[in-house]
Homo-oligomer: A and B are copies of this chain.
Amino acid sequence: MTGFRYLSFLTDYGLEDGFVAACHGVGARLAPHVAIIDVTHLVPAGDIRRGAAVLAQTVPYLPPAVHVAVVDPGVGTARRGVAVAAGDSVFVGPDNGLLSWAMAASGGATRAFSLTNRQLWLDRVTATFHGRDIFMPVAAHLAADTDLTAAGEEIDVGDLVTLPAPERVVRDGTAEGEVLTVDRFGNVQLTITASDAAAIGVTPGGAMLLRSGRHQLTLPYRDMFGAVAPGELVAYPDSAGLVSIAVNGGDAARRLGLPAGARVTITAAPQTIPQ
């Protein structure tokens, strides 16, 4: 598989420095025909799980591409870099689980290569900036005319590091899960899907009982968060097909004290109890 018109690029490099631009420059030099779509560069530093969630929810809407992702607290240690074919795309980054959810969302990894072919790296490789010196040049070569098999030694796709799939269990009329991620607006996205909710009798127009630790709360469940009055809490099936909780015009994560990873359960509630 060679030849891509697009690269996508996700990191925790931030936007204050020239780190992202240096990588863009490397890509432009090696694959001038390619357009780069920045997914985000504001993943909290080293937060692999958050990077994985954002990448997995975005990739289905991107064109076929070489997806480069670098959230890499182990840069310079023994963790390997990989290039992996999945679906109609190629994923390039550290083998630390960051890519795993997005590859699953793309149909699963079919072939994987450890980045051992230094011919595809920059001539001078620093120990702390593999995004610029290894991942981006490898990706740009793959987007140009280099075959994936030239990236390095082939490895078993079963040996790739994967993050545990977001947990969710549905039984006895209860859906258990956790907070997958919190977005900029403070909307709280659960690992529980809208289909899970339907399976336990929670459907738009109804209500749910949300429990987390010793706290519990009844929430209206609506098609969209605009369906409740400003300042009110609401649960809804979100744009990724997951149950999310919002405050219309406010910050639900702060209101509820629910960070990423917090355990929650939901059950159907007979009706909405006014907050």
Interface residues of chain A, those whose CB is within 8 Å of chain B, are: 5-6, 8, 10, 13-26, 28-29, 32, 35, 37-43, 45-46, 54-55, 57-58, 61-63, 73-77, 126-129, 132-133, 183-185, 223-227, 236-239, 241, 248-249
Nearest B residue to A125 via CB reads B239
Q: Is the CB of B26 within 8 A of A73?
A: no
Q: Is the CB of B185 within 8 A of A21?
A: no
A54 contacts across to B, CB distance below 8 A: 17-18
Q: Is the CB of A226 within 8 A of B75?
A: yes
Q: Is the CB of A25 within 8 A of B37?
A: yes
Q: Chain B's nearest CB lies how many Å from the CB of A138?
A: 15
Q: Is the CB of B40 within 8 A of A15?
A: yes
Bound CA span A57–B20, Å: 12
A241 contacts across to B, CB distance below 8 A: 126
Q: Is the CB of A183 within 8 A of B61?
A: no
Q: Chain B's nearest CB lies how many Å from the CB of A4?
A: 12
For A61, give its contact among B26, B37, B62, B73 (CB under 8 Å): B26
Q: Chain B's nearest CB lies how many Å from the CB of A62?
A: 4
A128 contacts across to B, CB distance below 8 A: 224-225, 236, 238-239
Whether A224 touches B28, Cβ cut-off 8 Å, given contacts A14-B184, A184-B13, A239-B129, is no
For A58, give its contact among B10, B18, B40, B248 (CB under 8 Å): B18
Q: Is the CB of B18 within 8 A of A6?
A: no
